[in-house]
Structures are given as structure tokens and as C-alpha cells.
């Protein structure tokens, strides 16, 4: 679930009018709808669902070693239904609109109006889809680790992009939120042998923080290294400058708000579904 929050600021193309702070809720929702459309996020939702199903299969091997009820993957598919993901994202993004600077967000989206922005969108989507293949993901991880170890310039550029775009901390926070939400859903569904208090759930999530941070860093690095492999050094420098700008950061915050809303809710629902699967098997 962690990878769903990665680099979503880079999935924008052209800028609609952004709602002003204090504008009516309907205007915020309208602006969020327009961002969804111009960023072509509809094409991302099947990839998110496929990623969830792949991780659902991995979870089943650990959580249901003797087999579940047979409904688990159907539940995972329904929880990540593209229409549902869209609704959750739009609600989360609309909620963050009042805190956004409209001029900065418009400026961030302006970056994607040209051919370079469109090219970046295509590269990111292609890499995301390619990494659904576990062999491709493993190769990307190995290539990035090797480039880092050898001190290659491209690996250093990727590291500067990650820092300029502030990709690690929001993703770690999102991962912790998702972990807490899953455990809360699992608890609500009666999945734990003994009742689990919220304090314990939060402590357990924070115990995972070092691993979440390590996994986040490795996946983001591999993804970016693969996605931008065809760029020249100068082109990547242009992107680094944009990602660290006020405009790029403003757009990033809105995008993370949308996706955090998605994965907090879907993680909670996955916890409920997992608990139901375990209870069904026990019965």
C-alpha cells in the first residue's frame, strides 16, 4: 500500500481554475474534478487496483496460510474499484483546497502544459505500469542500488529530486496512516485474538517506521531511476528545479491530500475484510 502514495505530484498536465480560499465547497469540488480530468488520473486507477490485488495475494499467503473463504481477492478488487478511488481522491483533494495558494497551484500545473510536461506524464505512467511486473521492479531496484553504489551522476540527480520534491516524509506519513487504518479496521472486524487498544495500534505502527522509511526510499528511487532513464541530465535538472519550487510543492500537497484520503480509507476497509476472512475461515 505504501507505493500508491509515491510521486503523485508528477501526474499533472494542465491547469484549471483553482478555487480560492474561503470559496464555497461546490467550487472546491469543481476544481478537484477539473484537476482529476486534466491530470488523466482515470488511467491510473486500474494500475492502483492491480497493485492492490498483487499485494492482496502476498497478504493472503501470510494471513490465510490454510486458505480463506475464497472471497478475499474479490473484496480487494471492490475496495479499490476505480470509481470508488476517484470519489475518495476528489473528496480528499477538495478538503485540502482551502489551504492551497491558487496562484501557486496554477503555476505548478502550468509546468505541464508544454510538451515536456506531457512527456514526463507518459514516462511516469509507463514506469508505474511496468513495475507491476515483479521482475521489472526487482531489476529497477538492482539498477538503482548499483548506480548509487558506484556514485553515478544519475543516481545523485535522483537523490536530489527526491529531496527537492520532499517525497520521503509525506510517503512515510502516508504509510503510517495506512498501517494504523488497517489495524483499526482489523480490530473493528474482530481480527485480533485479543482486543487491541488504539494506543497499542499506534505504537505498533510506529515500530514499523524504520522499515516503512527504508521501503519507501528504495521503491521511490527505483521507480524514478526507471521512469527518467531516457531523460538527459539537463532535462532532469529542469525537473528538479520545478519539483522544488513553491508551485511544484503546492501541487504536491494537494495531490498527497487526495491520495492520503484514498489509502487511509481503503486500508481501513482492507483491515475489515481481512478480519472477516479470518473469522469466516474459523467458522
The answer to whether 271 and 191 are in contact (CB under 8 A) is: yes
Q: What local confidence, expressed as pLDDT, does residue 67 receive? A: 64
Q: What's the rounded Cα separation, in Å, for the pair 43 and 48?
A: 10
Grouping H, G, I as helix, E, B as strand and the rest as coil, residue 29 is helix
Q: What's the rounded Cα separation, in Å, for the pair 274 and 189?
A: 8
The grid coordinates of residue 153 equal: 551522476
Structural domain boundaries of the chain? 2-282
In this structure, how many other beta carbons lie within 10 angstroms of the beta carbon of residue 133?
A: 12
Q: What Rg value do the Cα atoms of the chain yield, rounded? A: 19
Closest CA to 84 of 35, 128, 129, 49: 49
**C-alpha angle 106-227-82 in degrees, rounded to nearest 5:** 65
Q: Average pLDDT across each block of 10 residues of the chain; the chain has 283 residues. List them in order.
A: 36 37 67 73 91 93 77 96 95 88 81 83 92 96 98 98 93 94 96 93 96 95 97 97 92 87 96 91 53
Q: What local confidence, expressed as pLDDT, does residue 49 receive? A: 95
Q: Which H or E run includes 103?
A: helix 102-110
In this structure, how many other beta carbons lie within 10 angstroms of the beta carbon of residue 118?
A: 14
The 10 Å CB-count burial string (b at 16+, else e) for 169-179 is: ebbbebbbbbb
Amino acid at each position: 500500500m505504501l507505493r500508491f502514495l509515491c510521486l503523485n505530484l508528477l501526474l499533472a498536465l494542465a491547469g484549471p481554475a483553482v478555487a480560492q480560499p474561503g470559496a464555497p465547497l461546490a467550487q472546491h469540488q469543481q476544481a478537484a474534478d477539473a484537476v482529476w480530468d486534466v491530470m488523466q488520473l482515470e488511467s491510473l486507477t486500474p494500475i492502483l487496483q492491480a497493485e492492490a490485488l498483487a499485494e492482496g495475494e502476498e497478504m493472503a499467503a501470510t494471513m490465510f496460510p490454510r486458505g480463506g473463504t475464497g472471497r478475499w481477492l474479490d473484496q480487494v478488487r471492490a475496495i479499490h474499484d476505480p470509481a470508488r478511488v476517484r470519489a475518495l481522491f476528489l473528496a480528499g483533494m477538495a478538503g485540502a483546497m482551502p489551504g492551497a495558494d491558487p496562484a501557486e497551484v496554477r503555476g505548478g500545473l502550468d509546468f505541464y502544459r508544454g510538451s515536456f510536461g506531457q512527456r514526463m506524464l507518459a514516462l511516469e505512467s509507463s514506469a508505474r505500469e511496468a513495475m507491476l511486473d515483479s521482475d521489472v521492479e526487482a531489476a529497477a531496484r538492482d539498477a538503482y542500488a548499483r548506480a548509487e553504489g558506484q556514485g553515478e551522476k544519475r543516481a545523485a540527480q535522483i537523490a536530489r529530486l527526491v529531496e527537492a520534491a520532499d517525497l520521503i516524509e509525506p510517503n512515510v506519513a502516508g504509510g503510517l496512516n495506512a498501517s494504523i487504518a488497517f489495524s483499526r479496521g482489523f480490530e473493528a472486524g474482530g481480527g485480533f485474538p485479543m482486543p487491541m487498544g488504539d494506543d497499542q495500534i499506534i505504537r505498533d505502527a510506529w515500530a514499523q517506521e524504520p522499515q516503512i522509511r527504508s521501503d519507501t526510499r528504495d521503491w521511490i528511487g527505483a521507480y524514478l531511476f526507471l521512469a527518467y532513464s531516457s531523460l538527459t541530465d539537463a532535462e532532469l535538472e529542469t525537473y528538479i528545479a520545478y519539483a522544488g519550487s513553491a508551485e511544484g510543492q503546492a501541487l504536491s500537497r494537494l495531490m498527497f491530500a487526495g491520495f492520503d484520503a484514498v489509502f487511509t480509507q481503503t486500508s481501513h476497509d482492507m483491515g475489515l475484510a481481512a478480519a472477516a476472512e479470518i473469522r469466516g475461515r474459523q467458522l
